[in-house]
Amino acid sequence: MTRCCKRRWRAGARARNAAFRCCGKAAKPMQTGPMRIPSTSPPRLDPAALPARPRILVITLRRLGDVLLTTPLIRNIRRGFKGATVDVLVFRGSDAILCGNPDIDRVLTMAERPSLRETLALARALFRRYDLVVSTQTGDRPTFFALLAGRHRVGMVPRAGSTGARWKSRVHHVALEHEPQTHRVTQLMALAGALGLDRTAEIVCPQGSGMRALAPREPYAVLHANPFYQYKRWTDAGWRALARALADRGLAVVVTQGPDPAERAYLDRVWEGAGTPVTRLALDWGELAALLKRAAVYVGTDTSTTHLAAASGAPTIALYGPTSPRLIGPWPVGGLARPWDASGTIQNRGNVWVVQNPQPCLPCEKLGCEGHLESFSKCLDELTPAQVLVAVDRAMASAEIADRGKADALHPQ
């Protein structure tokens, strides 16, 4: 080894050692290998290692829909650890979907791209503050903050042989390998099992003051036409045709929108000349949950609003393009009796219908046909209103049958 190589190797060793020191104090020795979850005898955290009223932090540094899908895990933690303090660390802006969640004591936020000063301030605030940290992701930042914050750590890690798998497995006292072909909620229920908790997959909707008196009194449909990224959009003409068809079925049409000026400009274009009256509402997450719960049907693309519609119990039509519903499809009330197929024409699970245009490349799991966020997606561009309406009619018929069943149960002859 040359002198230059030796110097580089020593510098790298010092950097690696520093990564496992916090505020000048050496961290506790870590286990020499990961505790993985085999199919037969999954390891669990020893409850005796925690105090009677533990302080628990759940880390989920993802976007709104992913944060919502974490609420079943948080609920199981709340129910399983009586008297615990349960905090959650999320990206700033994603905290709104946890509004009014009764299972959470405090929501901590951080910027998606924090400065060094912000990162150090958060690190100081978290350092050894919690008895248990549950990291729901395999990324560097969630793992790093788990190491800083928790005396005991349970978390997701990459599969063996993947980049970072080894050191991340050493950080956690119980490490679960990420299963890439498993639905997000199912993965999180594996974390609940590792904590020795029930695996009840009940999504908790945001709560607030309730829906303002703006929704129609007659039966209504809710449409959410604007996903976060353009490559997940359906066509303007498709939305207008759908709105007219819903009005022909006797439904008032309510469309939702956010505060962003660019989003509102896009929706101005979509609904201009729709040919039928539409009520446009900008609601907070608690109000939106209340609106969706009363809807005769909801139609939207792959967005957090669609996940919320499914969780609210509304008959939900989800328009999927490049993304596989097997991994991140809407989670119906009562859970998935069987996983979503990666592709299909119309799939139904519970109160959710996933609609796709089954191209040979579906699902490509790419950022549209051009591979970037502003790309078009042929599978969505060629999805017809007729196919969407087939799913709408099935969903409304199913809801009507369910309502009749409830009425018969309440008033038996």
Give 241-253 pLDDT, tens digit per residue. 999 999 999 999 9
What DSSP designation does 222 have? E
**Per-residue DSSP letters for 258-313?**
-S-HHHHHHHHHHHTT-SS-EEEE---HHHHHHHHHT-SEEEEESSHHHHHHHHHT
Instruction: Check pLDDT > 70 for residue 386.
Output: yes
DSSP lists the bridge partners of residue 318 as 300, 354
Of 14-18, 213-217, 393-397, 403-407, the one with minimum mean pLDDT is 14-18
pLDDT at 405: 52
Q: What are the phi and psi torsion angles at 157 (to 5°)?
A: -135, 160
Where residue 215 falls among pLDDT bands split at 50, 70, 90?
Answer: confident
pLDDT at 217: 87
Q: Which CATH number fits domain 220-408: 1.10.10.10, 3.40.50.2000, 3.40.190.80, 3.40.50.410?
A: 3.40.50.2000
Mean pLDDT of the chain: 87
CA–CA separation, 143 and 153 (whole Å) = 9
Best-predicted range by mean pLDDT (1-10, 79-88, 265-274): 79-88
pLDDT at 46: 83
**Average pLDDT of 270-283?**
92
CA–CA separation, 98 and 77 (whole Å) = 15
pLDDT at 38: 38
Quick: pLDDT tens for 172-200: 999 999 888 899 999 999 999 999 999 99
Contact criterion met (CB below 8 Å) for 187 and 178: yes
Spell out the CATH class of 26-194: alpha beta
Note the Cα 16 to chain centre separation in Å: 33
What DSSP designation does 98 have? G
- Residue from 394, 391, 209 nearest 300 by CA: 391
Quick: pLDDT tens for 151-177: 999 999 999 888 989 999 999 999 999
State the number of CA atoms in the 13 A half-sphere of 24 facing the CB. 0
DSSP lists the bridge partners of residue 299 as 223, 317
Name the more confident of 15 and 393: 393
Instruction: Check pLDDT > 60 for residue 111.
Output: yes
What is the radius of gyration, based on Cα positions, of the chain? 23
Tell me how crowded residue 81 is: count the other CB atoms within 10 A of its CB.
22
pLDDT at 212: 61
Where residue 286 falls among pLDDT bands split at 50, 70, 90?
Answer: very high
Tokens of 184: 């997000």
pLDDT at 273: 84
State the number of CA atoms in the 13 A half-sphere of 42 facing the CB. 17
Of 20-29, 120-129, 131-140, 152-161, the one with minimum mean pLDDT is 20-29
For the chain, the domains span 26-194, 220-408
Instruction: Check pLDDT > 70 for residue 398.
Output: yes
Contact criterion met (CB below 8 Å) for 219 and 254: no
CA–CA separation, 305 and 297 (whole Å) = 13
Task: Please check whether the two domains, 26-194 and 220-408, share a CATH topology.
Answer: yes
**Average pLDDT of 384-411?**
80
pLDDT at 18: 39
pLDDT at 216: 84
Instruction: Check pLDDT > 80 for residue 228.
Output: yes
